[in-house]
Amino acid sequence: MSIIQASSPVDGRVLGDFEVSEAQAIAEKMVAGRLAGGSWGRMPIKVRASTLLPFSQLLMDNLDSICELIGLCTGKVRSEALLGEIYPLLDLLNYYQKHAGEILRYQGVPTSPFAFPGATAGIERRSFGVVAVISPWNYPFQLSVGPILTALFAGNAVIFKVSELCLPVGQLIVDLFGKLDLPSGLVQCIVGDAETGEQLIDAAPDLVFFTGGLHTGRAVMQRAARHPVPVILELGGKDPMLIFADAQLDRACSAALYGAFCNSGQVCVSVERLYVQKNIFDQFLAMLQTGAAQLKVGADPHGDLGAMTSAAQIDVVQAHYQDAINKGAQASGPLEKQGHFLKPVVLWNVHHGMRVMREESFGPLLPVMAFTDESEALRLANDSEFGLNASIWSSDIGLAKRVASHLNVGNWAINDVIKNIGHPGLPFGGVKQSGFGRYHGAEGLRNFTYPVSGLSNRSRLPKEPNWFPYNEQGYQNFKGYMDFVYSTGSFIQRFKRNRQALEAFREYSTFDLAQRWQNLKLMLTWKRGY
């Protein structure tokens, strides 16, 4: 039996010992999940929604204790836990309570009275079955509970794995869902590292939802392809922020500092590249340095930046900083480290040959670079293998929207930062190396289901026109039908040249072609007489 000991990045205190889930235990959880998911998925969406409704009040009743535990496990300050981990979940719950039934309802699809006489068609949404949710360490509560709730609204069971750096958060999630009136085995947790994640995928869930870095995302996709299991990948970013000279600079500066340094830069949509128009560059850089120097680092209630969660990520940040300095960058100060706490640093004289401008830093570094015009801003912003989020800052909303329409990203905001990804009605996800698939919004909920298409034919005729036997006359009749429906010319022209062929399908039609032709002739005669 293997044990993982959880400790806090804030002060190193031990938070508990957790038994690693073995392959056999995971397989047993999968069986239980399929059983629970079967009954849950057959429930009407209104029943599922009402069963999940009390979760909002559970969060509200336990805000302080949840924030405290999240802070101990991740190092983030209390306000960041409240606003970044819990508030978005309350909003998401509220959105799906109101709209899930409409989003997942049966969708009728029109049918042609010629091709499908007497038939109706439509699409229903069905739950996958068991969804595996693998979540990261930067937002272990929100990025676990959000997809869990989405999967549950869609009618699935869930087996989730939080990062081994945040195991107490996983237990908290189990305890919270345990207070709802859910089928036994509907929400289950496993404990372990990357190997355990592989075993979860090898247990062949029906869908894998993964949030994390690019390297691990590739490994998840490769593992899932063995079975095969569909995946939704929410990966990293190198998000650009573009500030034009006519922007409201005070607001833009505050946004840049927040966008780059909230949660110590450990946000997939952090501002990791800041581009400022050349004629305001020096002024704006001075504003950034002044603002960064005023930020407080520490775990006390007045801290702005908490601890870095992962020691390995601190090494990445230090490597990016040193690479930039070695290649000529200037910095607002040294990268000061005390335990897991890092002081935020602004970098300039940077270029795209530096790691800090190309790789995800995921830490409190803000590289700033100048651009001359709209064209160069777009070229620089799109010069990245990532495409997650972006923000554009200008008083000219038309210009900003034009720039946004040419950015290779899955999401964007104008004169705001990061907040757009928390909108529960907007689907969130990336392009390029930032992953694929979406969650949040109607599209996100549908992604946790699959479409089933159906057609019902109420015809009492002995056969359909396309059934056997084939003959030359039938071939010519079908050519005429296709010419009538798809070729050029007015309706009258197409009807005239194909009347004989269409008459051959009269018995299959829901209306009388001959009578329609007579009505058409009467109308034309009346128009000529008039």
Write out the catalytic residue numbers.
Answer: 234
Rounded to whole angstroms, how far apart are CA atoms 220 and 23?
17
State both tokens at 530. Answer: 């008039």
Nearest to 390 by CA among 403, 399, 379, 376: 403
Residues ≥6 apart with Cβ < 8 Å to 374? 244, 399, 402, 403
- Burial code of 361-371, b = ≥16 C-beta within 10 A, e = fewer? bbbbbbbbbbb
Q: Is the separation of the CB atoms in 520 and 509 below 8 Å? A: no
Instruction: Decide if 198 contacts 35 (C-beta within 8 A).
Output: no
Is there a contact between 173 and 162 (Cβ–Cβ < 8 Å)?
A: yes
Q: What are phi and psi of 338, to 5 degrees?
A: -135, 105
Q: What Cα–Cα distance (Å) separates residue 375 from each residue in 338, 439, 513?
A: 42, 32, 58
Could you tell me where the beta strands, DSSP code E, fall in 217-279? 231-234, 239-243, 271-277
- Amino acid in position 11: D
Query: What is the C-alpha separation between 392 and 252, in angstroms, rounded?
Result: 10
Residue for token digits 């996709």?
Answer: 221
DSSP state of 155: T
What is the Cα–Cα distance from 211 to 268, expressed in whole angstroms? 9
CB 217 within 8 A of CB 436: no
Identify the CA nearest to 450 among candidates 44, 41, 111. 41
| Residues 329, 349 contacting (CB under 8 angstroms) | yes
Residue 9: closest CA among 138, 136, 135, 134: 138
Lookup: tokens for 367: 């590289």
The two structure tokens encoding residue 409 = 């990203």
